[in-house]
Amino acid sequence: MKIYDAHVHYLWRNLTSKSNADFLSLREEGLQGMALIIMGHHLGDMDRCFTYIPQSYHDRIDQGIFSDSSIKEVPAADLFSGIEIFPYFDSRYITEEEADLNRFKAEGFRGLKLLYVADIEKSLKMTGWPILFGKSTEDFEKLTLRLIEQAVGFDWPIIFHADLRLHEGFVREVLTSFSGHPFVFPHFGFSRKIMARLLERFEGCYTDFSSLLPFMQKAPDAYRDFIETYADRVLFGTDATSDWPELILEYVKTVKTLISDEVILQKVFQDNYLKVHCRGVK
């Protein structure tokens, strides 16, 4: 069965021979492609950059990414043992003055990743954009809408990280304004209940279960029911990093154990990803 991972972070660590071998094993397991989230723009202050990254990922980041100008480039297509890469621009460090996405489109980016954190996020141990830049939540909303408008104009899919428990109202406004455009809300939006409401209401709304592996293993029935109920809208996603292929494999094994219906598995592993990332492609 063909598999596509809708949520992988590229953090510029040099891929070791072991990592390359692991990605080759994933190719043999069925992995065909990945939505690769790339930090194509950052601040000059490394310490400030780290405050807007979940603390659990700090030890997986090559600190050189915050000083190396080459990081703005989309990685070579053959870097991951023949696995197809769909590059997303991670916009977390963008401000109003830098919010023209045309230059990133020219560099080869094909999707937009939004990290919508408006305040200190205690569970992730990270700050939010308004605190990082000394701006208001209203400024953050305006910037987010400006980025979305451009991405929609480019026909870019959008990965929209937002805690729906805090921001359901704003997210609803966005989905209403840009009806039908593909938005993927990772981590089930931090609330399966609210996520379900949005999936039922908005045609272009999708989700993935990235970062939820421990919860899926702990409460398999609840997560199986959600995935099967919304099988046409759930993408396979892991939140792995570019030097962490073994996490992708663990997700694959867990999902195959969780879901026995081959039709649903194909939707989650492949079909929904292709609906979002290959629109209009025959």
Cβ 240 vs Cβ 5: under 8 Å = yes
For residue 183, list its beta bridge partners: 158, 205
Distance, in Å, from the CA atom of 254 to the CA atom of 249, rounded to the nearest integer, reads 9
Any domain includes 9: yes
Predicted model pTM: 0.95
Structural domain boundaries, residue 20: 3-277
Any domain includes 282: no
Number of structural domains found in the chain: 1
Q: What is the CATH number of the domain that holds 252?
A: 3.20.20.140
282 residues of the chain, pLDDT tens digit each? 999 999 999 876 666 666 777 888 899 999 999 999 998 888 888 889 999 999 988 888 877 777 765 456 788 877 888 899 999 999 999 999 999 999 999 999 999 999 999 999 888 899 999 999 999 999 999 999 999 999 999 999 999 999 999 999 999 999 999 999 999 999 999 999 999 999 999 999 999 999 999 999 999 999 999 999 999 999 999 999 988 899 999 999 999 999 999 999 999 999 999 999 997 543
Any domain includes 226: yes
